[in-house]
Amino acid sequence: MHTDKIRNIAIIAHVDHGKTTLVDQLLRQSGSFRDNEALTERLMDNSDIERERGITISSKNGAFIYADHTINIIDTPGHADFGGEVERVLQMADGALLLVDAQEGPMPQTYFVLKKALARHLPIVLVVNKIDKPAVRARWVVDQVFDLLVTLGASDRILDFHVVYASARDGHASLDPAQFGADMQPLFEAILKYIPPPKGSPDAPLQLQVASIDHSSFLGRLGIGKITAGRLVPNMSVMLATTGGKYEIARITKIYRYERNRKVETDAAEAGDVVAVAGFESVMVGDTYTDPEHPCPLPPLPVDPPTVSMNFIPNNSPFAGREGAFSTSIHLAERLQREALCDVALHVEELPARNATHSVAGGPEGIGFKVSGRGELHISIKVEQMRREGFEFQVSSPHVIMKEEDGELLEPYEDVTIDVPEIYMGAVIEKLGGRKGKMQEMIRNADMVRLRYKIPTRGLFGFKGELMSDTKGMGVLNYIFAGYGPHVGEMRNRRNGVLISMQDCTTVAFALFNLQDRGRLFLGPGEKIYRGQIIGEHARDNDLVVNPAKGKKLTNMRTVLSDENVILTPPTFMSLEACIAYINDDELVEVTPKSVRLRKRDFRP
């Protein structure tokens, strides 16, 4: 197909502004599906975690035909912690659809994705989404995006962007915010008119830089990217130029194009096409497929460095090996190294034995691994994925990655935006002040307040749970990496101590009833626990060793007091993310396919 008939677009936006829903509508209204074909929502979200959380974690490729044009679409993550995905997949695009909520306007991630798109000089089509909201501010949103582009130093060509007003959920778009359209045709026409076709000659030497990796049970690793020059056919001899400067020659075994949300085998591809290529088992993100006779490798993809790290350690608790299929350090190493090959924003380092040797019973755990990523959510998602795959291990509390410049210690900072009802504003401001945050802006809109803060990344550990509690679940937290700044000194993660089990036992209702006054419990009756396991939070600032198996003494005497009913307060449920944010440096989170437990790293009563 001639390049004039190809459009490669990335769909970028802040989290929850409707990217994946828009992709669904584009695929449906392009005629990619039969009229009687059963369709599911969020077609591009192909993992259970993405569907459960309603967020895009990894970028996805798809394609459809409209008016004899092939439109390749790239659905990108919206959360700041997965910004590494956005950085590397934008090189496959020749333009971008920028989605902005018609009520909320530009948010922190909007700034981030726009900055990356402008760095590649990509033309923008603004899609003001959710135009059917009752409190819509469409014109204001367009003005805010324009101001944001000016702030980022956009060229005059990009500042003259086209605007489409849409409701991806209801499947309509228009050029006038006051009138709803009948379908998505205005957006289709805008893509063909305002997004340029890809550049590059099919007669030039081959150039294809790998932007992401896929796996096949039969073919192994597949390198995904856009052919910027040349052409590809099966059995063609190709050179792989790695980011480390090495060269390898092999034959291409299979080539796949994208059709809807799936890969379809093809017998040829040329400049402008987005394809998945099999033939090199060692291919990694950033490598270049090129002509062996005229090698032209492309420069490595720039990726922002990680800011948060956690230690992954083989499980050595008394319950080790009971619930997981993969529990050794070898299993852990293989899985983490495999993940690092696909996620360029994730760094894995082996810990020295002295840093990974801690035990409840005094024995060694084996070698651990330091895993560094973009944020707490970025790493915790990897923990959840491994847990669902049958892995059993332990993780430490998160730590920010410091650096030193000119003798000054620096730490990462975040730009935080919080939308909160005005009645809860005081409590939120007080909490952020205690976490070394500095207010940048406060905007009132009806009974809601938007707070903008600059805060050390450490100050956000565990803050989301406190925000939800202080605002009765009505607060909305968004943040994005702002850069490095001066170290602000010590910062206390948790004010309260914990309740620690003194023995291996099964929890008893009578004992838990008597412990309720000491703090809040994380477990109910009938739970098997071990010595050193954390069963609750102490009401004071010190740790307390307790016996959760203490039963009621039976006698022959019966009184009103002796027959008092045992009424237990429901225990506090802690999600995996909440557990990771909760623990201190002397504690660990034990992760298995069936359980998430908190424990002391080295407990000696």
Give domain 403-486's CATH architecture: 2-Layer Sandwich (3.30)
* Residue ranges per structural domain of the chain: 3-194, 207-290, 308-398, 403-486, 498-589
Sign of CA dihedral 561, 562, 563, 569: positive
Dihedral (Cα; 76, 82, 83, 89), 10-degree rounding: -40
341-367 mean pLDDT: 63
Q: Which residue has the higher pLDDT, 533 or 24?
A: 533
Is residue 426 classed exposed, middle or buried when 0-12, 13-18 and 19+ CB atoms within 10 A define those classes? exposed
Alpha carbon distance 474, 532 (integer Å): 36
Q: Which residues pair with 393 in a beta bridge?
A: 314, 591
Report yes or no: 320 and 248 within 8 Å, Cβ to Cβ: no
Tell me the pLDDT tens digit for each residue of 182-205: 888 999 999 999 999 988 888 888
> Residue 547 has what pLDDT?
92
Q: What values do phi and psi take at 393, rounded to 5?
A: -160, -175
Least reliable range by pLDDT among 317-331, 399-413, 542-556: 542-556
> Residue 353 has what pLDDT?
65
> Residue 307 has what pLDDT?
87
394-423 mean pLDDT: 90
Instruction: Give the pLDDT band of residue 481 (cuts 50, 70, 90).
Output: confident
> Residue 490 has what pLDDT?
83
291-296 mean pLDDT: 88
- Asked if residue 356 has pLDDT above 70, the reply is no
Tell me the pLDDT tens digit for each residue of 332-349: 999 998 888 777 788 899
Give domain 3-194's CATH architecture: 3-Layer(aba) Sandwich (3.40)
Class of domain 498-589: mainly beta
The rounded mean pLDDT for the chain is: 85
Q: Which residue has the higher pLDDT, 116 or 210?
A: 210
> Residue 143 has what pLDDT?
92
Report yes or no: 111 and 452 within 8 Å, Cβ to Cβ: no
> Residue 569 has what pLDDT?
86
Of 364, 327, 312, nearest to 594 by C-alpha is 327
Rg, C-alpha atoms of the chain: 27
Tell me the pLDDT tens digit for each residue of 104-114: 888 877 787 88
Reported as half-sphere exposure (CB side, CA atoms, 13 A), residue 296 has a value of 11
360-384 mean pLDDT: 74
569-573 mean pLDDT: 88
491-512 mean pLDDT: 88
Contacts for 543 with CB less than 8 Å, ≥ 6 apart:
497, 498, 499, 500
The answer to whether 308-398 and 403-486 have equal CATH topology is yes
Query: Percent of the chain scored above 70 by pLDDT?
Result: 92
> Residue 110 has what pLDDT?
79
Third-level CATH fold of 207-290: Elongation Factor Tu (Ef-tu); domain 3 (2.40.30)
Instruction: Give the pLDDT band of residue 310 (cuts 50, 70, 90).
Output: very high
> Residue 19 has what pLDDT?
79
Q: Which residue has the higher pLDDT, 352 or 546?
A: 546
> Residue 562 has what pLDDT?
52
222-250 mean pLDDT: 88
Tracing tokens 């809807």 back to the chain, one arrives at: 260
Instruction: Give the pLDDT band of residue 361 (cuts 50, 70, 90).
Output: very low
Instruction: Give the pLDDT band of residue 365 (cuts 50, 70, 90).
Output: very low
Class of domain 308-398: alpha beta
376-400 mean pLDDT: 90
